[in-house]
């Protein structure tokens, strides 16, 4: 038996540090007590969400490696990143709320005198290995060290394009607080974040940091950083509310009726940050299309009035078969059709939701023409990208 234990320990030592750590002890006991944990795994709202292939992987490979479509999945030129400077961020927002999209799902929110950083990913690849997996299509708008003090870092779930070990390790050396879904704290402690700086929440639980309230709300997705996904860490969307403003970050999610419940309980919002990229008919349960993202925004706001939608989860990593520019183009069209405001900043371009919104379709300068128009007929669901986690699925 000692030999087997030694072999097991040796295999664990060979695993990438980016795999993180599994929950255990009191953390695992708390997970088991969660009303959203059943039959040994966390459950999705609205029934089972397919997180493993349910159709033909050769069919997916045929689409993904199509020689005519592949050139469209990356910009054809240099992405016009706004070089965020200290001057951009040192002046308090005139309205009390300012958002800066750093690319993908990373957003700096300056809200009622506090600074909240959502899903910070400054790494070159979203992968456990430095030489494998999708690389950034544009640089981070500024070095992480130049961002300045952050009051709270919010993590939506533990996939590599949302929870980046090098970024967390750098932030671990600051005094920021981390708000994370249940179970995700095990990864952060493994990477050097002290337990007293963790706020680990189940859905519908809230914590207060420096006068702002952070509430974990449901999402329809899944989790995992290893080949074997145990579903022992939760995924979440987030509501952040200050004295004067409130905002919503979707994390990754498929569309579900719960957006209306979140809006009714916590909205309306001064801005929503909604996932609209890396969608496909191969995984319809766990990511939203631009049209679904627009619908979710309206559900959260209770109608076309209210703050704007900031599209996230696109433009930085190539994670799906659709064209690189398609999420931006289609979100612009979907918002126009639905009649709600949308902000379309370049990565790194700060804006205030109550002020003038960036609206220029900047991606057109550096992208090939789209190969399909919006809207397209709804495809029949066939599979999901669960087996692609280690090469870039979020």
Partner residues linked to 308 by β-bridges:
none
What's the confidence (pLDDT) of residue 7? 42
Pairing mode of beta strands 237-241, 246-249: antiparallel
HSE at residue 266, side-chain half, CA atoms within 13 A, is: 31
Residue 49 pLDDT: 72
Q: Is the pLDDT of residue 259 over 70?
A: yes
Query: Residue 9's pLDDT band (boundaries 50, 70, 90)?
Result: very low
Banded model confidence at residue 217, pLDDT cuts 50, 70, 90: very high
- Percent of the chain's residues with pLDDT above 90: 76
CA distance 230 to 234: 11
pLDDT of 11 over the 60 cut: no
pLDDT of 65 higher than 80: no
Q: Does the pLDDT value for residue 215 go beyond 60?
A: yes
Inter-residue contact 151 to 240 (CB < 8 Å) = no
Asked if residues 117 and 154 have their Cβ atoms less than 8 Å apart, the reply is yes
Q: pLDDT tens-digit profile of 187-208?
A: 999 999 999 999 999 999 999 9
Nearest CA to 254 among 234, 294, 283? 283
What is the spatial distance between Cα 358 and Cα 52, in angstroms, rounded to a whole number? 38
Query: Which among 349, 275, 300, 270 has a CA at the least distance from the CA of 111?
Result: 270
**In this structure, are residues 225 and 19 in contact, taking their beta carbons and an 8 Å threshold?**
yes
Q: Where do we find the tokens 């059709």?
A: 337
Overall average pLDDT of the 254-271 stretch? 97
Average pLDDT over residues 157-184: 97
Q: List, in sequence order, every beta strand (DSSP E) within 112-245.
A: 114-118, 152-154, 177-181, 198-201, 206-209, 212-217, 237-241
Q: With beta carbons less than 8 A apart as the criterion, state whether 374 and 323 touch.
A: no
**CA distances in angstroms from 222 to 111, 151, 383, listed in the order given:** 29, 27, 15
Tell me which DSSP letter residue 342 carries.
B
Provide the pLDDT for residue 59: 73
The pTM is what?
Answer: 0.91
Sign (positive or negative) of CA dihedral 300, 283, 380, 53: negative
326-338 vs 290-301: helix crossing angle, rounded to 10: 40
Calpha distance 33→27 (Å, rounded): 10
Q: Summarize pLDDT for 73-116 with one digit per residue, the tens.
A: 999 999 999 988 877 888 999 999 999 999 999 999 999 999 99
Confidence of residue 56 (pLDDT cuts 50, 70, 90): low
Mean of the per-residue pLDDT values of the chain? 89
pLDDT at 320 over 70: yes
What span, in angstroms and rounded, lies between the C-alpha atoms of 106 and 347?
Answer: 10
Length of the chain: 394
Bridge partners, 100 (sequence order): 108, 350
> What local confidence, expressed as pLDDT, does residue 58 receive?
75
Average pLDDT, integer, range 250-276? 97
Which pair of structure tokens corresponds to residue 3? Answer: 């030999």
Least confident window among 42-51, 255-264, 356-365: 42-51
Per-residue confidence band for 293, with pLDDT thresholds at 50, 70 and 90: very high
Report the candidate in 284, 163, 152 with the shortest Cα–Cα distance to residue 223.
163
Q: Which of 201, 184, 335 is nearest to 272 (CA)?
A: 335
Residue 287 near residue 157, CB atoms below 8 Å? no
Whether the pLDDT of residue 388 is over 60: the answer is no
Mean pLDDT of 276-301: 95
CA angle 256, 363, 71 (to 5 degrees): 90
Q: How far is CA 372 from CA 72, 130, 283, in A?
A: 11, 34, 19
Name the phi and psi angles at 382, rounded to 5: -130, -40
pLDDT digit string, tens, across residues 125-143? 999 998 899 999 999 999 9
Q: Are strands 246-249 and 41-42 parallel, antiparallel or unpaired?
A: unpaired
Confidence class of residue 31 from pLDDT cuts 50, 70 and 90?
Answer: very high
Q: Give the pLDDT mean for 209-228.
A: 93
pLDDT of residue 86: 78
pLDDT over 70, % of the chain: 89
């Amino acid at each position: 038996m000692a030999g087997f234990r030694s072999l097991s320990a040796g295999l664990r030592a060979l695993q990438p540090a980016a795999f993180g750590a599994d929950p255990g002890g009191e953390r695992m006991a708390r997970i088991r007590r969660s009303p959203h944990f059943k039959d040994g795994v966390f459950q999705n709202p609205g029934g089972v969400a397919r997180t493993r292939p349910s159709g033909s992987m050769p069919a997916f490979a045929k689409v993904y490696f199509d020689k005519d479509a592949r050139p469209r999945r990356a910009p054809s030129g240099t992405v016009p990143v706004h070089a965020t400077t200290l001057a951009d961020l040192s002046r308090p927002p005139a309205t009390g709320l300012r958002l800066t999209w750093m690319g993908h799902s990373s957003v700096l929110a300056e809200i009622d005198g506090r600074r909240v950083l959502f899903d910070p990913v400054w790494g070159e690849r979203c992968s456990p290995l430095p030489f494998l997996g999708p690389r950034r299509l544009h640089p981070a708008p500024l070095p992480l060290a130049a961002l300045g003090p952050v009051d709270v870092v919010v993590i939506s779930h533990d996939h590599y394009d949302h929870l980046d070990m090098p970024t967390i390790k750098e932030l671990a050396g600051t005094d920021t607080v981390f708000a994370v879904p249940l179970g995700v704290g095990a990864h952060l402690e493994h990477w050097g974040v002290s337990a007293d700086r963790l706020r680990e929440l189940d859905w519908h639980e809230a914590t207060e940091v420096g006068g702002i309230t952070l509430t974990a709300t449901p999402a329809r997705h899944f989790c995992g950083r290893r080949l074997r996904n145990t579903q022992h860490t939760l995924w979440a969307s987030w509501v952040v509310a200050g004295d004067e403003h409130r905002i919503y970050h979707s994390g990754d999610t498929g569309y579900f009726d719960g957006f209306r419940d979140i809006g009714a309980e916590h909205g309306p919002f001064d801005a929503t940050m909604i996932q609209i990229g890396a969608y496909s008919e191969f995984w319809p349960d766990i990511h939203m299309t631009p049209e679904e993202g627009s619908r979710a925004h309206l559900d959260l706001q209770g109608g076309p009035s209210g703050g704007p939608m900031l599209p996230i989860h696109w433009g930085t990593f190539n994670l799906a078969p659709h064209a690189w520019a398609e999420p931006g183009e289609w979100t612009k069209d979907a918002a126009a059709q639905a009649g709600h405001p949308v902000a379309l900043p370049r990565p790194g371009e700060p804006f205030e939701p109550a002020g003038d919104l960036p609206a220029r379709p900047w991606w057109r300068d550096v992208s090939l023409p789209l190969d399909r128009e919006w809207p397209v007929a709804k495809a029949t669901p066939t599979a999901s990208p669960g087996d692609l986690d280690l090469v870039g699925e979020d």
